[in-house]
Amino acid sequence: MYHSCHRMAMQDILYTGSKLHRDHTLRRNAEELSILIQSQTVRLVPVWKDLSLVRSGDTHACWLEGDSAQQIVQRFSETVYLGHLDGASYFAVDISSLDAEETGPDLGADTRFVNLRLHAPQLAVSVGAVLAYARGLVVWHRFHRHCGVCGAPTKSEEGGHVRRCISELCGHLAYPRTDPAVIMLVEDGDRILLHRQQQWPPGMWSCLAGFVEPGEPLEDAVRREVMEESGIEVDDVRYVASQPWPFPSSLMIAFTAKAVGGTLLPDVTEIEDAQWFTRDDLNLFDDQNRQTGQGAFLAAPGSAARHLIEMWRSP
């Protein structure tokens, strides 16, 4: 049941579905990349601080082209090659040094900068995937300006997919990292276990989740996190789907699991509350409550958590 539903609904998971050819071979050709970045086929994806560029009223474009792109390229020499699609070359660029109001710099009357995490449901899924890819790499560069081994400055190489320590005594290579996190739908017959955290908006409920620890298989991480946060023992852990989560550098790996023991006792140092919900209970949740601040609502549509919940609600 889960595998068939998973295949039908994967396109609805945010930040997936990018058609970009990442072209790892071209990344190593600095000369060709320098030509591409100055061409009229370039599509430039700017990131300002933690905000992403979108076009007002258009769910299919999130980049600069032509003269608008070249104006930015002339000001910012360090770009990141994302890949190519339909004859166009995509690059990301960090323009955080530009002075601007909280909403970001003005790059055209029909563009604006938005919080991707909040705005992604309004975009075409493939567009959100490009923005997530760009944001993840730009933030990684921002955090790795100096070598983690010796502290010397680093420089970008291989189209922005490597940073090399400039010290001749070190030369350490740093690669973009992804931190795996498990998210799981815990089932107990005709009910599922959901929780909420104190920092979430009032009324929001979602699946349990947590980071994978060093030396830990994903399935063990599921069992451990559920036990630590709720007191419930689980088994029959099954993979469902995955979701890039560039806030700043995670990969959400979604599972289902069966409750096999334990007593529900939420760890209030980790979460605010955890409860069992039936399908009838889920009918009381309303996405409109997210805007009104009144009543209960589930994790956002398009999230891995919501994907798990909806799969269970409509088997």
pLDDT (0 to 100) of residue 7: 38
- Does residue 299 contact residue 309 with C-beta atoms inside 8 Å? yes
pLDDT (0 to 100) of residue 8: 36
- What averages of pLDDT result for each successive group of 10 residues across the chain (315 residues)? 40 87 95 95 96 87 92 94 96 95 86 92 92 97 97 97 98 96 98 97 96 98 98 98 95 98 96 97 94 91 95 89
Read out DSSP for 78-116? -EEEEEEETTEEEEEEE-TTS---TT-----TTEEEE-H
What number of other Cβ atoms are within 10 A of residue 95's Cβ?
Answer: 20
- Does residue 178 contact residue 137 with C-beta atoms inside 8 Å? no
173/154 Cα distance (integer angstroms): 9
Domain range annotation of the chain: 15-143, 179-313
pLDDT (0 to 100) of residue 58: 79
pLDDT (0 to 100) of residue 27: 95
pLDDT (0 to 100) of residue 257: 98
Strand order in the sheet with 79-85: 79-85, 88-94, 42-48, 51-55, 111-114
Q: What CATH code would you report for 179-313?
A: 3.90.79.10
